[in-house]
Amino acid sequence: MCRIAGLVTNRLRGDEVKRVVNVMCHTLQHGGPDDAGLYCNADTRVVFGHRRLSIIDLSANGHQPMADAELKAWITFNGELYNYRELKTELQQLGAAFHTGTDTEVIIQAYLHWGTSSFDKLRGMFAFALYDTITEAVYLVRDTTGIKPLYYYAEDGQLSFASEIRAFKAAGIATAEDTRWPVWLLAFGHIPEPYTTLKNVLSVPKGYFLCWNKNGAYTITSYNRATAGNYITDIQTAQAGISQHLKTAISRQLIADAPIGVFLSGGIDSSLLALLANEERKQLKTISILFNEKEYDERKYQNAVLDKLSGENFTHLVKQQDFEEHFPQILRAMDMPTTDGINTWFISKYAHEDGLKTVLSGVGADELFGGYPSFSRIKYMGYLKMLPPALFSASKIFSASRYKKLAYLAHNNSIANYLFLRGLYAPADIALLIDMDTTEVNNILFNTITTPDLGAHNKSQAAWLETNLYMQNQLLHDTDIMSMSHGLEVRVPFLDEDLQQYVSQIDPAIRFDNHQPKKILIDTFKELLPETVWNRPKMGFSFPLQQWMVNNSAISDEELYRGKSAKGLINKFNKGQIHWSRAFALYQIQGHV
Indicate the residue type of 298.
E
Residue 120 and residue 95 share a domain = yes
More confident residue, 321 or 451: 321
Residue 359 and residue 257 share a domain = yes
Residue 137 and residue 284 share a domain = no
Structural domain tally of the chain?
4
More confident residue, 236 or 36: 236
pLDDT of 428 over the 80 cut: yes
pLDDT tens, residue by residue, 14-42? 788 889 999 999 999 887 777 788 999 88
What is the residue-averaged pLDDT of the chain? Answer: 91
- Predicted confidence at residue 401, as pLDDT, reads 61
Mean pLDDT, rounded, for 361-372: 96
Band of the pLDDT at 346, cuts 50, 70, 90?
Answer: very high
Domain assignment present for 560? yes
- Predicted confidence at residue 403, as pLDDT, reads 66
Contact yes or no for 519/238 (Cβ under 8 A) = no
Instruction: For residue 220, give the H/E element and its range.
Output: strand 218-222
Residue 123 and residue 50 share a domain = yes
Domain assignment present for 329? no
Angle at 499 between CA 203 and CA 418, to 5 degrees: 50
Question: Which structural domain, as residue segments, surrounds residue 75?
Answer: 2-222
pLDDT tens, residue by residue, 75-84? 999 999 999 9
Residue 392 and residue 447 share a domain = yes
Residue 404 and residue 300 share a domain = no
Residue 115 and residue 18 share a domain = yes
- Predicted confidence at residue 411, as pLDDT, reads 83
Domain assignment present for 149? yes
Domain assignment present for 461? no
pLDDT tens, residue by residue, 103-112? 999 999 999 9
CA 178, 179, 184, 186 dihedral sign is: positive
Q: What percent of the chain has pLDDT over 70?
A: 93
Band of the pLDDT at 63, cuts 50, 70, 90?
Answer: confident
Domain assignment present for 376? no
Mean pLDDT, rounded, for 334-345: 94
Residue 171 and residue 23 share a domain = yes
Report the C-alpha gap between 111 and 136 in whole angstroms. Answer: 14
pLDDT of 365 over the 60 cut: yes
Report the C-alpha gap between 15 and 18 in whole angstroms. Answer: 5
Q: Which of 539, 515, 518, 543 is nearest to 529 (CA)?
A: 518
Indicate the residue type of 192.
P
Residue 295 and residue 213 share a domain = no
pLDDT tens, residue by residue, 444-474? 999 988 888 888 889 999 999 999 999 999 9
pLDDT of 392 over the 80 cut: no
Residue 259 and residue 181 share a domain = no
Band of the pLDDT at 541, cuts 50, 70, 90?
Answer: low
- Predicted confidence at residue 181, as pLDDT, reads 97
Report the C-alpha gap between 123 and 82 in whole angstroms. Answer: 6
pLDDT of 386 over the 90 cut: no
283: left (phi over 0), alpha (psi -120 to 50) or beta: left
pLDDT of 192 over the 60 cut: yes
Indicate the residue type of 197.
T
Indicate the residue type of 266.
G
Band of the pLDDT at 384, cuts 50, 70, 90?
Answer: confident
Domain assignment present for 326? no
Max mean pLDDT among 11-15, 380-384, 387-391, 445-449 falls in 445-449
Residue 147 and residue 89 share a domain = yes
Band of the pLDDT at 593, cuts 50, 70, 90?
Answer: very low
3-state DSSP helix/strand/coil % of the chain, to nearest 5: 45, 15, 35
Domain assignment present for 215? yes
- Predicted confidence at residue 415, as pLDDT, reads 93
Residue 548 and residue 537 share a domain = no
Report the C-alpha gap between 242 and 245 in whole angstroms. Answer: 5
More confident residue, 390 or 331: 331
DSSP 262: E
Q: What percent of the chain has pLDDT over 90?
A: 75
pLDDT of 568 over the 50 cut: yes
Can you give the pTM of this predicted structure?
Answer: 0.94
pLDDT of 578 over the 70 cut: yes
